[in-house]
Chain A
């Protein structure tokens, strides 16, 4: 009985001393410093709080002037989604609940998250998991990206968007969005005049660039086209790092 009482008091104190507010001028610097402490693991939360900020809802949990966690959802994706960075499962629960209060589609239909193991376990405490699939976050630094011999990739431009849309459909890309060219460079390989492979930018923050929308037309696979496109994506300022998606 004594143990239960102490547990209740601790949780009560957590709820009354923690504040959750939208990311804004007052908490922006603290929230970014919190996320930048682990730039690869927090790559998605960082992108939502910086480059993609205008298209995201971002909430910050604070307690006594210290950030306890950050959660966000990206409105442009065709599927409901969220991501978060917290050190305590209780904070995750509070952030997710408030995020869902503000974004109705998070409760209206199944949603998606891409999380490391620890955060997957935290989500499990506050959500019903329908399915999980393992993916590897692949990383390279610009100076260790090896040369690729063979196919030639060129930078894609606005006039290539119809072909990029068609390739995304043919390759079955799940989160393709035609705003990709606004987020960073994209590169493509052509056979005759048909775009047969591409690699674009999911997001680019000062800490991490996520290369995404990597696709090869089913008729042109295993010929090094995607590698050539990805290789070209390295041409960024030397102090930027890369995460592949």
Chain B
């Protein structure tokens, strides 16, 4: 997973051939 705002990491992985499969929510919660 790559944080949405981590543009350098997103670019690096796209250069390797990765593509975005799904938008995920890293969520902190209480029950």
Binding site for B on A (CB under 8 A): 40-41, 96, 100, 106-107, 109-117, 120, 123, 126-140, 144-146, 148, 222, 226-227, 230-231, 243-245
Contact = CB atoms under 8 A, between A and B. Distances in A.
A137 B24 CA distance: 7
12 contacts: A40-B22, A41-B22, A110-B29, A116-B22, A116-B23, A134-B26, A135-B26, A136-B22, A138-B18, A138-B21, A140-B16, A227-B16
Contact of B29 (A113, A222, A227): A113
B19 to A, nearest CB: 6
B3 to A, nearest CB: 6
Interface of B: 1-4, 8-10, 12-13, 15-31
A127 B29 contact: yes
A109 B22 CA distance: 28
Nearest to A126: B31
Contacts of A41: 22
